[in-house]
Amino acid sequence: MLILGIETSCDETSASIVKDGEYILSNVVSSSLEYHKKFGGVVPEIATRHHVENIDKVINRSLYNAGLKIKDIDAVAVTDGPGLMGALLTGISCAKAMSYYLNKPLIAVDHLRAHIYSAIMIKDAPRFPFIGLVISGGHTRLYLIEDFDRFELLGDTVDDAAGEAYDKVAKILGLGYPGGPVIDTLAKKGNPDAIRFTCRAINGTLDFSFSGIKTAVLYYVKNERRMTNDERRNIAASFQESVLRVIVENSIKAMEKYKIKSFAVGGGVSANSRFREMMQREARYKDFKLYFPPLGLCSDNAAMIAGLGYRLYKKGIKASLDITARV
Ligand code: KG4
Ligand code: ZN
């Protein structure tokens, strides 16, 4: 079964064709990142305009790359949230029109669940139930996943998301936007024990809080008269180590609490090299199975939408033409 996936929740306009929820025939991503950089974050109006101007080209390109014609598509899956209102509406409107025109089913897919699906879009996927984590620019969430349509929220951030903390700290350090990849690289050359930035889990829960550590970095930098490159590297490494330690700790706690031995993670921050190292060490030590997306599927893409869309369709879950964006 061939599903066309459409993703426009933030700054990536993406379309993908996936066969049977598993085989990616094409995955085209056009990002408006360049236009947001000078503002230090995503500007919703710019993102929406980019989607409107590019969605048809991206869909045509994904059909072309897959060697298919539009009439070959069996269903259309689209991200219905969470994300930016105008951005989501562009993809949803386009998907609805295509579904109506082609007379093929429409499937609404949750962006966060799809991020986790990108880690298990493989042959020997984990059996249910397993623990899933999304660490992206907008969300940090732990789930107990019992089926493709049964996600129980176990933990969430009470303030900033993990990726947001990376982006804000990068801004404080004058490293530009987005912050995650730069801090990832810089931290490799820094000493993670150089500065004590505390970042703790919220007692008795599986929730997260990342705004305190961002403020701690801000004050630390303010009190420094001149920041050397060495110091910048040490700040990046110390900040990253604290943030990732809490994410790893909560993830392990969730697995222990529910006696689960499989863990899947997705979202932009799941590309982080130190995070992968830390989780792999824990997986060996605690003997659990770890599922990461390939690096190309960590950030926003439509392959994960088409993939999870197929699983939902197989469960008989379809959307009607009156769906709208869930911001
Ligand atoms: O999943 P994503 O592409 O978009 C959202 O749905 O938010 O995630 C983007 C976030 C940004 O905050 C970015 O700084 C972060 O992922 N990110 C990283 C890395 N690559 C991207 N954070 C840490 N380490 C990375 N290597
Ligand atoms: Zn995302």
With a 6 Å cutoff on the Cβ, whether 114 touches ligand 1 is no
pLDDT tens-digit map of 93-115: 999 999 999 999 999 999 999 99
Q: What is the mean pLDDT of the chain?
A: 97
Which residue intervals of the chain bear CATH 3.30.420.40?
2-116+298-314, 127-292
> For residue 14, what are the CA distances in angstroms to 20, 120, 222, 304, 324?
19, 20, 40, 10, 19
Superfamily of domain 127-292: ATPase, nucleotide binding domain (3.30.420.40)
Strands in 150-156's sheet, in edge-to-edge order, are 150-156, 140-147, 130-135, 262-266, 289-291
pLDDT, average across residues 260-277:
98
For position 124, what pLDDT does the model report? Answer: 86
With the CA atoms of 313, 316, 322 and 327 taken in that order, what torsion angle do they form, in degrees rounded to the nearest 10? -60
For position 65, what pLDDT does the model report? Answer: 98
Ion ligand 2 — residues with CB < 5 Å: 136, 300
Residue 225 has pLDDT above 80, yes or no: no
* Atom number in ligand 1 closest to CA 240: 23
For residue 321, name the pLDDT band (cuts at 50, 70, 90).
very high
- For ligand 1, the distance from its centroid to the CA atom of residue 295, given in whole angstroms, is 11
Q: Concatenate the DSSP letters of all residues of 4-36 into one string.
A: EEEE-SSSEEEEEEEETTTEEEEEEEEE-HHHH
**Nearest CA owner, ligand 1 atom 16:** 268
pLDDT, average across residues 281-301:
97
**Nearest CA owner, ligand 1 atom 7:** 137
**Nearest CA owner, ligand 1 atom 14:** 180
State which fold the 2-116+298-314 domain adopts: Nucleotidyltransferase; domain 5 (3.30.420)
